[in-house]
Amino acid sequence: MTKNPRAAAAEALYNIEKEGEYSNRAMLDAARGLDVRDTALATEIVMGVLRNKLYIDFVIQSYSKIKLKKISPWVLQILRCGVYQLVMMDKIPPSAACNEAVKLAAGKSNGAARGFVNGVLRTVSRNIEALPMPNGSTEEILSVKYSCPLWIVKRLCEQYGTEMTECILTDSLIPHSTTVRTNILKTSSAELVKILEEEGICAEQNTEIPECIRVFGAFDINRSAAYSDGLYTIQNINSMRAGLLLDPREGETVLDLCAAPGGKTTHLAELMKNKGKITAFDLHPHKAELINNAARRLGIGIIEVRTADCTEYMPELDGCADRVLADVPCSGMGVIHKKPDIKYNRRTEDVETLCSIQEKIMNNGARYLKPGGVMVYSTCTIFKEENERQTERFLNTHDNFVKEHERLYTAHETGGSGFYLCRFKKVR
């Protein structure tokens, strides 16, 4: 098992692209055995390559006589890691980036591959101040420059215009600081900040959402006693807004229709002061168990977890709930800054399929509500067909509901992930 961070990065990238692994799982497996510093370097390279892959490939192709699809998959990952270090990591000396890549190529391929990698990277290094620029239409240039598939860029430009699209894409390449949610059943945010600082974690309380704490720098929850003790949960600030908008009260009956891994579910329970009943659903048993694990760690006892397909109507739930959270499956275009592999895995036809799923879940959630009840529909995407157009269609077919609040939180404007929230009330 390698102890080299660059080899770990190339291995993770290979497994993401060729084996279909999720980036977090691939990185965890590849970095096993590395120390904290080397893990941080490997993670930065992997995430940097994923965020900038189309531009990196454009640079490689500009200086390679071999077409990308003809390059060995292992050699291509080594080249991507090398180009990322040369072009986008000021703290890595060019000689180190080149030499380490050549060593990796020697270990993974033949002598010709080693010379090829050396030639491409040395040429990139010599031209670092005058790298080629993409050309073509505005959308094609943005696609390469910001490493976003062309169909996504076109859709964003159609819905938001070129200027806002460029802001969205610029932000998607920037790592965001982590936010955590205080478990108000066990502690206060002010006290948690002190505890985290005692653990060597720099943290500050958010002024808008009191239970939200922003942490700075890398930290490992596996080394945090406060995490093990259930004092906090990692959750994006804009994700927290879903629970706050639903505003559940003590003693109520609440349904969370797409709950795993349980961040929003446990937030609802904390807001309810662990009094009442929450039924949380997920399609997959292994994901449903994540909710149980989270509840146990946080000391929550009001969550019942059920495995179910929420696109299928469950008549036993008809009219039972005071509040329903429909945090539906979506294209994930609001979280590509932290999960960049999403943008390469999604296809345009996926959006239509997801819209159908979302509509069914929301329609079922509406039937489960009591008159006077509240439903919040939420996504972590910014595509309008999954958001505003979806909720407009719902209102057009449900005259017993009124819209009380609607907002899109974009990542570049808020510093959190992209989230859409809409609150409905069932008036009869």
Q: How far apart are CA 392 and CA 4, in angstroms?
A: 52
Task: Sort strands 419-426 and 369-379 into parallel, antiparallel or unpaired.
Answer: antiparallel
Is 337's pLDDT higher than 90?
yes
Residue 427: what pLDDT?
97
pLDDT band at 1 (very low <50, low <70, confident <90, very high): very low
* Residue 374 φ/ψ, nearest 5 degrees: -120, 140
Beta bridge partners of 376: 325, 423
Average pLDDT, the chain: 95
What the block records as the tokens of 125 is 């290094």
CA distance 322 to 320: 7
Q: What is the pLDDT of residue 107?
A: 82
Residue 146 has pLDDT above 50, yes or no: yes
Quick count: other Cβ atoms within 10 Å of Cβ 381? 27
pTM of the model: 0.94
pLDDT at 256 over 90: yes
CA distance 323 to 280: 12
Yes or no: say if 134 and 145 are a contact pair by the CB < 8 Å rule. Answer: yes
Q: Is the dihedral of CA 297, 301, 302, 306 positive or negative?
A: positive
Exposed (0-12), middle (13-18) or buried (19+): which is 9, by Cβ within 10 Å? Answer: buried
- Its sign, for the CA torsion 273, 189, 36, 31, is positive
**Per-residue pLDDT tens over the stretch 24-71:** 889 888 888 888 889 999 999 999 999 999 999 999 999 999 999 999
Pairwise CA distance, residues 187 & 420, whole Å: 29
What is the tens place of the pLDDT at every residue in 363-414?
Answer: 999 999 999 999 999 999 999 999 999 999 999 999 999 999 999 999 999 9
Instruction: Label residue 19 by pLDDT band (50, 70, 90).
Output: confident
Tokens for 133, please give them. 């620029």
% of the chain with per-residue pLDDT over 70? 99
Token pair recorded at residue 14: 């290979």
As beta bridge partners, residue 327 has 378
The CB density around residue 309, as the number of other CB atoms within 10 Å, is 12
Q: 330 CB contacts (<8 Å, ≥6 apart)? A: 354, 358, 379, 380, 381, 383, 386
Cis peptide before 261 (omega within 30 of 0): yes
Residues 259-296: pLDDT tens digits?
999 999 999 999 999 999 999 999 999 999 999 999 99
Query: What span, in angstroms and rounded, lies between the C-alpha atoms of 326 and 265?
Result: 11
Residue 382: both structure tokens together: 């910014």
pLDDT at 17 over 50: yes
Q: For residue 380, indicate whether it is catalytic.
A: yes
SS3 100: helix
* Ordered domains of the chain (ranges, CATH): 5-126 (1.10.940.10), 138-172 (no CATH), 244-426 (3.40.50.150)
Name the active-site residue from 212, 258, 355, 380: 380
Question: Rounded distance, CA 357 to CA 268, Å?
Answer: 24
pLDDT at 257: 97
Residues with Cβ < 8 Å from 122, sequence gap 6 or more?
A: 98
Question: What pLDDT score was predicted for residue 22?
Answer: 87
Q: What is the pLDDT of residue 108?
A: 74
